Amino acid sequence: MNTAMQSLTQLLSQKRDQSHLHLAQAQRVVSDAQQQLNDLQSYVDQTTQQWQRRTAAPMSAQAFIGQQEFSNGLQRAIALQTQWLEQHQQRVVHCLDAVHASEQRLGTLNKLGQARVKATRARQQRREQKQSDDFALMARARSQGLPSALRS
């Protein structure tokens, strides 16, 4: 493989590795965002259960309004966290596409390199076969005593 091909292979390998790194980072962000969403939903469930136990007893209007405002705030937080999660899930999809594209480019380049090596070997084998055939023809001509003009 020539140096230009090696340099290109190295560059594409680095880009592939960077794509894998970005994908791993995006997946970690999604995992963290999902965990935060789960935590929020769990907190909502806990506070809802607490308020349900408290509502068995009489509650002031002000306490009820406070509970509703708190609950609405948690629902807004869940909605924002869900949007955040969806955005980062899209980023993971884009990173996966980039990984697949970089793998494909590198694979194509490797196939091209293999095809060039195969073609070079085939040319070398043809040259060697021609030399072998010429040598055999000359040896035969010598053994039969043919003039040197016929040997070539």
Residue pLDDT, tens place only, 101-113: 999 999 999 999 8
pLDDT of amino acid 18:
96
The number of angstroms, rounded, from the C-alpha of 45 to the middle of its chain's C-alpha atoms is 38
User: What range does the domain containing 110 cover?
Assistant: 8-121
pLDDT of amino acid 37:
96
pLDDT band per the 50, 70, 90 thresholds, residue 95: very high
pLDDT digits (tens, 9 = 90+) for 3-43: 888 899 999 999 999 999 999 999 999 999 999 999 999 99
CATH number of the structural domain spanning residue 49: 1.10.287.1700
Centre a 10 Å sphere on the Cβ of residue 67 and count the other Cβ atoms it contains: 17
The count of domains in the chain is 1
Q: How many CA atoms lie within 13 A of 22 on its CB side?
A: 18
Task: Record the tokens describing residue 9, joined without a space.
Answer: 């292979």
Give the position of tokens 């190295």: 10
144 in a domain, yes or no? no
pLDDT band per the 50, 70, 90 thresholds, residue 49: confident
114 in a domain, yes or no? yes
Judged by average pLDDT, the poorest of 63-77, 94-108, 119-133 is 63-77
pLDDT band per the 50, 70, 90 thresholds, residue 139: confident
Sign of the Cα pseudo-torsion (36, 39, 43, 45, in order): positive
3 in a domain, yes or no? no
pLDDT of amino acid 149:
52
148 in a domain, yes or no? no
Give the 3-state secondary structure of the chain.
Answer: CCHHHHHHHHHHHHHHHHHHHHHHHHHHHHHHHHHHHHHHHHHHHHHHHHHHHHCCCCCCHHHHHHHHHHHHHHHHHHHHHHHHHHHHHHHHHHHHHHHHHHHHHHHHHHHHHHHHHHHHHHHHHHHHHHHHHHHHHHHHHHHCCCCHHHHC
Q: Is the pLDDT of residue 150 over 70?
A: no
